Chain A
Amino acid sequence: MTALLDLVRRIGAGVVEAVWRIGFATRFFGLLLAYSGQSLARLHLTIREIYFSGVLSLLIIVVSGLFVGMVLGLQGYETLQRYGSSEALGVLVALSLTRELGPVVAALLFASRAGSAVTAEIGLMKTTEQLKAMDMMAVNPLARVVAPRFWGGVISMPLLAALFSAMGVFGGWLIGVVFIGVDEGAFWSQMQAAVDFRFDVLNGVIKSFVFGVAVALIAVFEGYDCTPTAEGVSRAITRTVVSSALAILALDFVLTSFMFRGQS
Chain B
Amino acid sequence: MSRTSLDLWVGFFVIIGMGALLFLAMKVGNVGTSNFDETYVIKAQFDNIGGLKVRAPVKSAGVVVGRVTNIGFDTESYRAEVTFSLGAGYRFPKDTIATILTSGLLGEQYVGLDAGGDSEMLTNGDAVQLTQSAVVLEKLIGQFMFDKAAETPAN
Interface residues of A (CB under 8 A from B): 44, 47-48, 50-51, 54-55, 58, 94, 98, 156, 158-160, 162-163, 165-167, 169, 188, 191-193, 195-198, 200-201, 204-205, 264
- Per-residue 0/1 for B1-34: is the Cβ within 8 Å of any A Cβ (1 yes, 0 no)? 0010011011011101111110111011111011
Count of CB-CB pairs between chains A and B under 8 Å: 86
Told that A55-B9, A94-B29, A192-B29 touch, could you supply 20 new A-B pairs with CB distance under 8 A? A50-B10, A55-B10, A55-B13, A58-B13, A98-B24, A158-B17, A159-B17, A159-B18, A159-B21, A160-B17, A162-B21, A166-B24, A188-B27, A192-B27, A195-B29, A195-B30, A200-B29, A201-B24, A205-B21, A264-B54
The dominant DSSP class at the A interface is: helix
Residue of A44, A156, A158, A196 touching B30 (CB-CB under 8 A): A196
- The answer to whether B53 and A51 touch across the interface, beta carbons within 8 angstroms, is no
The answer to whether B10 and A51 have CB atoms under 8 Å apart is yes
The distance in angstroms between the C-alpha atoms of A264 and B108, with both chains bound, is 12
CB < 8 Å neighbour of B28 from A47, A54, A192, A198:
A192
- With the chains together, A264 CA to B53 CA distance in Å? 8
Q: Which of A48, A163, A200 contacts B16 (CB 8 A)?
A: A163
Is there contact, CB below 8 Å, between B10 and A169? Answer: no
Q: What is the CA–CA distance of A50 and B14 in the complex, to the nearest angstrom? A: 9
Smallest beta-carbon distance A114→chain B, Å: 12
Q: In the complex, A162 Cα to B17 Cα: how many Å?
A: 6
Please, which residues of chain B bring their CB within 8 A of the CB of A163?
Answer: 16-17, 20
Size category of the binding interface on chain B: 20 to 34
Chain A residue with Cβ nearest B9: A55
Contacts of B3 in A (CB 8 A): 44
Chain A residue at minimal CB-CB distance from B21 = A162
CA distance A94 to B7 in the complex (A): 32
